[in-house]
Amino acid sequence: MYIGGIVVEDRGILTKIKKNIKNEVRDFNTSVITSNAEISTKVHGLKKFRAPEIRGENPQGFKVNRKVDIWAFGLMIYGLYKKKGDEEQPNDRELINSVRMSLGDYTELDNELREYLSNTESNSFLDRVIKGCLQLEVDIRPSINAIVDFLNEECNGFEYEREFLNNEDIKWCNEN
């Protein structure tokens, strides 16, 4: 899958591309990652990738927008970057948590993400992108364009970082 300067392969390889390529999004089903539009859908991907605002069951369906997809994108990168590879077998705890998530219980994942988001030592370039995508406050999740600009070093701060980065030399990423 290629998303604006980022290539994510199924084998867990994450690559940054420095040249201009027309953006493509593949395998995102109802993705609206590059649009400002909202779509209504009754099914939106695997439950484990659902943003907090669309978890649970809703017979009328969900209003899916790019911020929901940014969450899923961030969670996917987090899994590739922080978790073990596919070749390792999941342990009993991971299997139990997977079943819980399929039943709508996100407690374990939420606790893990809360710990990761508050860990100031996990603050690499990629950590900052992931943490931006996984913000609980929907309005401060970055846009895919902001992520691409950040990876291309055209900006060096996301909206969610404003409260703790007070350097006046920071060029904030445009969130539109």
Mean pLDDT score across all residues of the chain: 75
What torsion, rounded to 10 degrees, do the Cα atoms 156, 152, 73, 53 define? 40
Q: Which of 85-89, 101-105, 126-130, 164-168 has the lowest mean pLDDT?
A: 85-89
Q: Give pLDDT tens digits for 59-100.
A: 566 667 788 889 889 988 998 887 655 556 666 666 666 666
d(CA 156, CA 129) in angstroms, rounded, equals 11
Confidence band for 29, pLDDT divided at 50, 70 and 90: very low
Instruction: Give the number of other Cβ atoms within 10 Å of residue 161's Cβ.
Output: 19
pTM of the model: 0.70
Contact at 8 Å (CB) between 143 and 118? no
Helix (H) / strand (E) element for 40: namely: strand 39-41
